[in-house]
Amino acid sequence: MNDLVPDKVRRLEDAIRVMPQVELPTEHYFADGMYARVLPRPKGTVLVGKVHKREHFYICTKGKVQVFMDNEVKTLEAGAVVVSKPGTKRAVFALEDSICMTVHRTKKRNVANIEKQLIEPEPKSLFDAWNKLKVKELT
């Protein structure tokens, strides 16, 4: 477990873990040593990301979100670019229908291998590298 992640984010993650989950369609782009991950967030969606090992860009490309990172809440609107530090784990609330993107340095093109390279292992994570639920909820 990463000690740099605020306890508030861990508690939020534990609380939403027991709530109904939504699989958000995730797009993956590759270009000359770069990987971009694009994720839409419908208004009212709350999500907690995974711990990133390396510095990368976090960009709000559409809408408005509130992001808890670096021990503070930041409101980001379309066009906002944030440099995320290693150890970052974000909690995000979509104030509007929004799209956010992360951009990472990697020569890899396999999403599962990219996650192993860029993300700290999180055994309790509900979602895989493609943002698909690892275990479907029982109905």
Number of domains into which the chain is organized: 1
d(CA 75, CA 65): 6
Q: Is the pLDDT of residue 138 over 60?
A: no
**Residue 100 resides in a domain:** yes
- pLDDT at residue 70 in the model: 78
**Residue 137 resides in a domain:** no
**Residue 124 resides in a domain:** no
**Residue 139 resides in a domain:** no
- pLDDT at residue 13 in the model: 87
pLDDT digits (tens, 9 = 90+) for 64-122: 999 998 788 999 999 999 999 999 889 999 999 999 999 999 999 999 999 999 999 98
94 contact partners, CB below 8 Å, separation of at least 6: 41, 42, 43, 44, 45, 46, 63, 64, 65
Tokens of 28: 């993956």
**Residue 128 resides in a domain:** no
**Residue 131 resides in a domain:** no
CATH at residue 51 = 2.60.120.10
**Residue 127 resides in a domain:** no
Confirm if 64 and 76 have CB atoms less than 8 A apart. Answer: yes
For 99, the domain range is 7-118
**Residue 83 resides in a domain:** yes
d(CA 43, CA 98): 7
Q: Is the pLDDT of residue 139 over 60?
A: no
- pLDDT at residue 11 in the model: 87
- pLDDT at residue 120 in the model: 94
Q: Is the pLDDT of residue 17 over 50?
A: yes
- pLDDT at residue 4 in the model: 53
Q: Is the pLDDT of residue 55 over 80?
A: yes
